[in-house]
Amino acid sequence: MPAFVHHITTLTPPFAYHQDFARDRLKDLAEDERTKRLIHAIYRRSGIVTRHSVYGDFLPDAEGSLFKFDEHGTLIPPTTGERNSVYAEWSRKLAVDLAGKLLAEVEDFTKDEVTHLIFASCTGFMNPGPDFHIIRELGLPQSVERYTLGFMGCYAAFPALRMAAQFCEANPDAVVLVMCLELCSLHMQSNAHQDTILANSLFADGAAAAIVSARSPAPKQPSYRLDGFVSSLVAAGEADMAWDIGDQGFNIVLSSYIPDIIQSSLRPIVEDVFQQKGLVPEDIDAWAVHPGGRAILDKVEQSLSLPATALETSRQVLRDYGNMSSATVLFVLKQMLADAGKEDALTCAIAFGPGLTVETALLTRLGVSSDDANALPMSAGAAYAEHAPAAPAV
């Protein structure tokens, strides 16, 4: 019995920074010309135009709520505890608002039908967490089973969806609310380390949520069928993407070699996934790749020999929102639903994270039905749908 993603909705916090403005503010904080040049070069190549944050501390005439300056204009770095306090406040607010938005938008589901809640985040900690407040403030059943996937990183949406699919496989009446919420900007640091500058140029705040169940989707609302998931590890990248908790936020390792490691390792991983499913890359109608950065998307495109337009949605999300860690690939999948036509589309989704971890998901985007849908030619996704495995997770 397959599981379906019936609806995806997204939310960003109220403060928006243009990438050029953020670049220049960070250059103002740099102590030497070399660091200023490095900041300028990295930001210029980012492929990002706008990012969102839960604080407006660097906007003109703003009174610093987290990042403050002394009388000489020197930045006073907030402690990890201070950053996490902002996470506790904003994650609760955004999570409740997003869950309410999702339940208001999704067709044929009510809050009383939700049986499970999976919350993924790697940018802060609180207990009781946002999942608890979603139930209390929105009046969901107190019997809702709650699960938190913490500190996994940019690929966490796939373990969350896989878990949701497994719940639906075990219980056909399960209705699972999946949420990924990340406040990456809380961990901005000002120093001359290239890893830090690269992280400052990429990461942003945002959240996305989905409803997953085994019910047949509404015929006039596009959805995804979850066809399978595969996890892979690239040992060569273990030391190139990682982070730990420091006294002034989370310390990130983000090597500039990551795109090259992905390029050299990705194709064998994807081909193995397809072989397990009896597919070839040419069967894929759409690619939903986590936009970890412009260089990563370039290397994925080259590694898989994709046409220039294949990652257009991923590039658009990167341009408009930046890298919101685990929430980002759900922004991509949501946009692809908005662009859905009448035909089904076999979709391959990929995300990367510490380890180096590669998560791959196969989904069938189910097109919107119409009176003449039967007259349309069958796409590769529709053909695959006839032979899709019964189990929603690998």
Catalytic residues: 154
Q: How is 299-337 classified by DSSP, letter by letter?
A: HHHHHTT--TTTTHHHHHHHHHH-B-GGGHHHHHHHHHH
Q: How is 100-145 classified by DSSP, letter by letter?
A: HHHHHHSTT--GGG--EEEEEESS---SS-HHHHHHHHHT--TT-E
- For residue 318, how far is the Cα from the chain centroid? 11
Query: What is d(CA 80, CA 247) in angstroms, rounded to the nearest whole number?
Result: 5
Query: What is d(CA 6, CA 103) in angstroms, rounded to the nearest whole number?
Result: 11
Residue 298 φ/ψ, nearest 5 degrees:
-60, -45
E strands in 30-185? 50-53, 68-69, 75-76, 116-121, 145-150, 175-183
Which residue has tokens 């339940």? 103
Total residues found in the chain within this entry: 394
- Coil, helix or strand at residue 347: strand
